[in-house]
Amino acid sequence: MWRALVLLAAGAGASFVPSFPCTLTTDPAECVDTTVSGFHVCAWCAAPGSRGCHPVGSVYNECEKECCVARGAASRCAQSELAGLGACDGAAATVLSDASAFASSRAGTRPALAFSGGGARAFTLALGWTRALKALDLWPASGLLAAVSGGGWFFGPHYYGDDAAADLGATTPPETLTLAALAASATPKLFSAPGAILKTCVELLAERAVYSHKPLDEIWRDAIFASYLEPFGVGSHQPFFASDGAAKAAVARNPALYGGESAPLAPRSPSPTLVLGGSVEGPADLVPLQKKIYLPLALGADATGSPSAVDVTYAKRGGGGNETLAVGGLQETWALGAVPLRAAARNESTAVALPTHLFSLADAVGVASMAPGGVLTQIFGAGGASDGTATGAAAATLSNLVPTKRLWAPPSLALPPYFVLGDGGDVENFGLVQLLQRGATRAVVFDATLSPLAPRTRWDPAARAPTAADVDEYVPALFGMDVGRDLEAELSHNHVFDARGFAPLCLALQDAAARGTGAVASASVVTVRNDLFGVEAGRSVDLTLVYLDLPSKWLAALPSETREAIKKGDDFPNFPFYDTFTQLALAPVQVALLAHMASWVIEQNADLLREKLASESA
């Protein structure tokens, strides 16, 4: 499928030429700066309901003069700079942008949960784990919940979708899980969500090569949306909030922004605040980087970013320049990509010019799972132009598949640069760092790993350092041990815990796995100073890890026909470690089997999890 995508990209690169350069521009600053042969040709309309970039000759039929921004002697717009949009009612949105406005985003003593990435496997495990936690009344009504990649594919619809997304089915005990019972349990609509995402990407690329009506960097987002959000009643441009009260407060601050396709989303019931975990992979103008410096990105229902900004020096590979930029700070998520204009009357907020659409749940779920982005960026860069050859056309097209957004670092009012955004797993696959940035002191991490935990007979964590064959590489990276190198992920900056906590945690996991009821264990760990990630030293963290394995007691309890089907592998290849990339599409019975196993593990470890997920720490 990837080969088809590359071949199609070569053809698309040759044909993907918008009829006019304004057609695909969604950014206000880029719109008014667009020139052809030295002439400004685009005008930005900021009027509510008509926001977008238009050819300068057509905008007057759609936009009041006071709401129109364009440059050049021929322009009839009232404004020549975005800063003048204050004259247009509803054109300049007010966005909360000071850390003091986001005190509720701090974890405090509340529980923090983190669900890892891992494609459709992670989606399925999150479903099974969550189902059991709710059935056992262990699900917290408050706190924080981080979800990366496939974890976000589950929580996006489950939090914000229709009633079908709330139906997780019932857990079937292993003793009665015949193949017929398995098929009967696989009827909830969510079980049919994992679809052929790469096939959809190819189809969208072919369509946009012909019609050039939507940006290429939205193809992955739109493919994820089509499988996991649209079938459950979520709109493509709906912003998401932590609660119904938070959504109403946002509407009250900017009433002209919401409604129709931008109707705000709120969770159906009290739940931990959702924080989708993505990554910041460098300035678009400087990728590919000489040295990869990836930062975790929190795309929260309450706020996006980190509590404080950090200065990062980036250098382009091959000596193409370098720049030090501020990354971080907090702002309301719906305004991600906006251009700051001026400090508002209250020091907690800033007036901004918004892009064409508000940043939505579909945007966040897409960014947090854009695993191909890191590879594409390091090979092709971002937003490249073709050199006229077939190879150059393919490279340019593939580079334009990578999502980029302006990332503002409040309180600066400078024009924010474009940054490449990617899958949270490109830097830290749990979203745990984002929780630590928000002050978490206890966390339960659900790891939908692709790496089975080595038993004590093969690896003694107290005797030697791990290799990539012993444990999920993302776990030792948190303790300063980088055991894996690949083109996609960059783990060398992930050291947030004292290394002395690593062996006790892994020893406890191995002991739990050996008991046959699931690799679930806790350990007390202490943070170390990580200035790049905004984590201070000396904080004690009660860390619990639910680590994917094949529990021997669950397997032994299955009816022989189900056990034999797993062993044979035709209907359940790689179970329970469904491949992240080659098994993006799962049959409902494949989802059901893995979800039943995940729910059973939670049931077997309910006492430990009840203690760790209590509403307030002891």
Higher pLDDT, residue 306 or 345? 306
Helix (H, G, I), strand (E, B) or coil at 5: helix
Average pLDDT over residues 441-466: 98
Q: Are strands 418-423 and 273-283 parallel, antiparallel or unpaired?
A: antiparallel
Categorise residue 536: left if φ over 0, alpha if ψ from -120 to 50, beta otherwise.
Answer: beta
* Paired tokens of 516: 């046959």
| 190: Cβ contacts below 8 Å, ≥ 6 apart | 127, 154, 157, 158, 164, 165, 167, 168, 232, 591
What pLDDT sits at residue 615?
Answer: 74
Residue 294 pLDDT class (50, 70, 90 cuts): very high
Given a cut of 70, is residue 14 above it in pLDDT?
no
**Kind and range of the H or E element at 6?**
helix 2-15
Residue 108 pLDDT class (50, 70, 90 cuts): confident
Q: How many CB atoms lie within 10 A of CB 206?
A: 15
What pLDDT sits at residue 210?
Answer: 73
Question: Is 388 buried (19+), middle (13-18) or exposed (0-12) by CB count in 10 A?
Answer: exposed
- SS3 string of 234-288? CCCCCCECCCHHHHHHHHHHCCCCCCHHHCCECCCCCCCEEEEEEEEEEECCCCC
pTM above 0.85, yes or no: yes
Q: Answer whether 578's CB lies under 8 Å from 597's CB.
A: no
- SS3 string of 526-558? EECCECCCCECCCCEEEEEEEECCCCHHHHHHC
Nearest to 338 by CA among 396, 397, 254: 254
- In the chain, the amino acid numbered 526 is V
Phi and psi for 613 in degrees, rounded to 5?
-105, 15
Average pLDDT over residues 43-67: 82
Given a cut of 80, is residue 8 above it in pLDDT?
no
Residue 380 pLDDT class (50, 70, 90 cuts): confident
CA distances from 7 to 2, 12, 200, 222, 584 (A): 9, 9, 15, 20, 21
Q: Are strands 349-353 and 92-96 parallel, antiparallel or unpaired?
A: antiparallel
Q: How many CB atoms lie within 10 A of CB 267?
A: 21
Given a cut of 70, is residue 9 above it in pLDDT?
no
- CA angle in degrees (0–180, nearest 5) for 154-160-165: 55
Span of 81-95, 240-254, 437-451, 584-598 with lowest mean pLDDT: 81-95
* Paired tokens of 466: 């791990």
What pLDDT sits at residue 10?
Answer: 46
Give the neighbor-by-neighbor strand order of the sheet with 42-45: 52-55, 42-45, 68-69
- CA angle in degrees (0–180, nearest 5) for 402-408-409: 125
Average pLDDT over residues 238-262: 95
Cα(first)–Cα(last) distance of the chain, in Å? 51
Each residue's pLDDT tens digit, 24-44: 889 999 999 998 888 898 999
Given a cut of 80, is residue 445 above it in pLDDT?
yes
What pLDDT sits at residue 1?
Answer: 42
Q: Answer whether 513's CB lies under 8 Å from 479's CB.
A: no
Given a cut of 70, is residue 11 above it in pLDDT?
no
**Averaged confidence pLDDT in the chain:** 91
- In the chain, the amino acid numbered 485 is R
Higher pLDDT, residue 391 or 521? 521
Higher pLDDT, residue 377 or 17? 377
Given a cut of 60, is residue 342 above it in pLDDT?
yes
Rounded percentage of the chain residues whose pLDDT exceeds 90: 73
Average pLDDT over residues 320-324: 91
Tell the residue number behind the tokens 């922004």, with chain if given.
Answer: 257
Q: What is the DSSP string of 282-332?
A: EETTTPSBSS---EEEEEESS-EEEEEEEEEEEEBTTT--EEEEEEEEEE-
Question: What's the rounded Cα separation, in Å, for the pair 99 and 272?
Answer: 20
What pLDDT sits at residue 344?
Answer: 66
What pLDDT sits at residue 420?
Answer: 96
What pLDDT sits at residue 15?
Answer: 46
| Domain spans, the chain | 19-90, 111-191+427-612
Residue 73 pLDDT class (50, 70, 90 cuts): low
Question: What's the rounded Cα separation, in Å, for the pair 103 and 439?
Answer: 11
Each residue's pLDDT tens digit, 584-603: 999 999 999 999 999 999 99
What pLDDT sits at residue 212?
Answer: 66
Each residue's pLDDT tens digit, 480-501: 998 876 667 899 999 999 999 9
Phi and psi for 8 in degrees, rounded to 5?
-65, -35
Question: What's the rounded Cα separation, in Å, for the pair 293 and 381?
Answer: 15
Question: What's the rounded Cα separation, in Å, for the pair 565 and 592?
Answer: 14
Question: What's the rounded Cα separation, in Å, for the pair 24 and 10?
Answer: 20
Each residue's pLDDT tens digit, 150-203: 999 999 999 999 999 999 999 999 999 999 999 999 999 999 999 999 899 999
Helix (H, G, I), strand (E, B) or coil at 420: strand
Tell the residue number behind the tokens 């009967």, with chain if given.
Answer: 184
Given a cut of 80, is residue 96 above it in pLDDT?
yes
Given a cut of 60, is residue 234 above it in pLDDT?
yes
